[in-house]
Amino acid sequence: MSTEIKINYEEVYSKTAELRQRLQSELREAEAAYRQANQSLRRMDGKSNAEFMELMENNRIKTQNTCNTIIKLISFIESSAKQVERDEMLIARTFARSRVSRTRRR
């Protein structure tokens, strides 16, 4: 059983960028649909209509907050991958220098 973890950093960065773009696109589309529905509802009267508009606004805010949270999580994943990649490169350089200095001493 291997204990080695292999990370394809380019794939992580590519996928996080894609997910972030898709979420932002979906959020823009949801906002546009909300505005369109809201404009239609404003032309109507009634208590039920007002309650429905309030409910829609609450759901819009929840959707925005959820998307923003997911985008932050995606950014965290990307930042963590970048930090791990930097750490791996530093470790690799340290070991390379260590090997070179040992061979020179012999």
- Alpha-carbon dihedral sign for residues 56, 60, 66, 67: positive
Question: Over the stretch 2-56, which tens digit does the pLDDT of each residue have?
Answer: 677 788 899 999 999 999 999 999 999 999 999 898 888 877 778 878 888 899 8
3-state secondary structure at position 75: helix
The closest alpha carbon to 20, from 95, 72, 84, 86, belongs to 72
User: How large is the average pLDDT for residues 89-104?
Assistant: 78
- pLDDT for 7: 84
